[in-house]
Structure 1
Amino acid sequence: MAAGTFSQIYIQIVFAVKARNSLIKPDWEDELYKYITGIVQNKGQKLLAINGMPDHIHILIGMKPNCCLSDLVREIKKSSNEMIKQKKFVEGLFAWQEGYGAFSYSHSALDNVIKYIVNQKEHHKKKTFKREYKEFLEKFNVDYKEEFLFQWIE
């Protein structure tokens, strides 16, 4: 990082298990989250919150400007996928869906975003992932086409 470069970039990343299968099980999700935390830290970034549901995951990261978000997400998905296969957490095939959502926040919003991520299990008792994801896209004014969103299980 160059002298005189100062930044404050907070990004929430959201991505899903391929075909939105509910494959992330409570008995190994903490190990997955710790592994992903290690990936983020090894890339020189700061993981602020991580949690999810059996079919998707939310990660809040404090990013440095020299980090390429798409490279980071690709590494998280690739390495965590390999770890899940190596540990044989899933019978059969496991993969993350293509694509992800990335949403930026101000420092003043961090407490609320962290609470939101930590309370995913409670939150999803009232709202589906599809509805949640579309609300993110609309709240952040992201143009999207329905056919390019995740595969949804109805």
Structure 2
Amino acid sequence: MRRQSKIDVHYHLVWATKHRQCWLDGSCERLAYSVIRREAEEVGCVVLALNGMPDHVHLVVRTRSCVSPAILAKQVKGVSSTCINDAQLLGDTLFRWQDGYACFSLSRSHVARVIAYVERQKEHHADQTIWAEWEETDVEVGN
């Protein structure tokens, strides 16, 4: 019997549209989520939750050790923005994501809680029960 390493890595990524524009609704949201899911799986992730609001996205994945958050974010953001622009879902407006993103590593004991939070994004925002630290997508840095 051959043995291999056991890897159990979970990430919660959050990123926003450029200038927090409310572009992710209807067909734009459906296309973005479809592409994000496909690209995350393409780089070797298992998508556990994917949801958001018109101006930002939450993605929870289980991944292999060779997939860094930077590789994952670059792939899903780059391909999804290209697909949205190619589909011309915003007319003449160029769809763009903000430059940064947030990534939180998750312990196994917290995965279910984070998945539930992501799955109920619209409810949390509607009733103001968001977890502020999980909604931040970037930080300011000094000179």
What TM-score does the superposition give when structure 2 sets the normalisation length? 0.86
Match of 2:126, SS state, is coil
Q: CA 1:108–1:20 in structure 2 vs 1: closer, same or farther (change >3 Å)?
A: same
| Amino acid of the structure 1 residue aligned with 2:85 | K
Residue 107 of structure 1: how far off its partner (Å)? 1.8
| Amino acid of the structure 2 residue aligned with 1:33 | Y
1:117 maps to what in 2? 118
1:94 maps to what in 2? 95
> What CA deviation, in whole Å up to 9, does each residue of 1:19-66 have, x standing for no partner?
001011133312321211110111111111100000000000101101
1:136 maps to what in 2? 134
Kept in 1: contact 2:35–2:76 (CA 8 A)? no
CA distance in structure 1 between the partners assigned to 2:26 and 2:112 by the alignment: 25
Match of 1:124, SS state, is helix
Q: What are the ranges of 5 or more consecutive residues in structure 2 without an aligned counterpart?
A: none
CA distance in structure 2 between the partners assigned to 1:107 and 1:8 by the alignment: 8
Number of equivalences = 137
Residue 128 of structure 1: how far off its partner (Å)? 8.8
CA distance in structure 2 between the partners assigned to 1:46 and 1:112 by the alignment: 17
1:77 maps to what in 2? 77
Q: Does 1:37 align with 2:23?
A: no
CA distance in structure 2 between the partners assigned to 1:99 and 1:127 by the alignment: 24
Residue 111 of structure 1: how far off its partner (Å)? 1.7
What TM-score does the superposition give when structure 1 sets the normalisation length? 0.80
Q: Quick one: percent identity of the two aligned structures?
A: 31
Query: C-alpha root-mean-square deviation of aligned residues, in Å?
Result: 2.2
| Amino acid of the structure 1 residue aligned with 2:134 | F
| Amino acid of the structure 1 residue aligned with 2:96 | A
Structure 1 segments, 4+ long, off by >4 Å, are none
Residue 83 of structure 1: how far off its partner (Å)? 0.4
Q: Does 1:26 align with 2:26?
A: yes
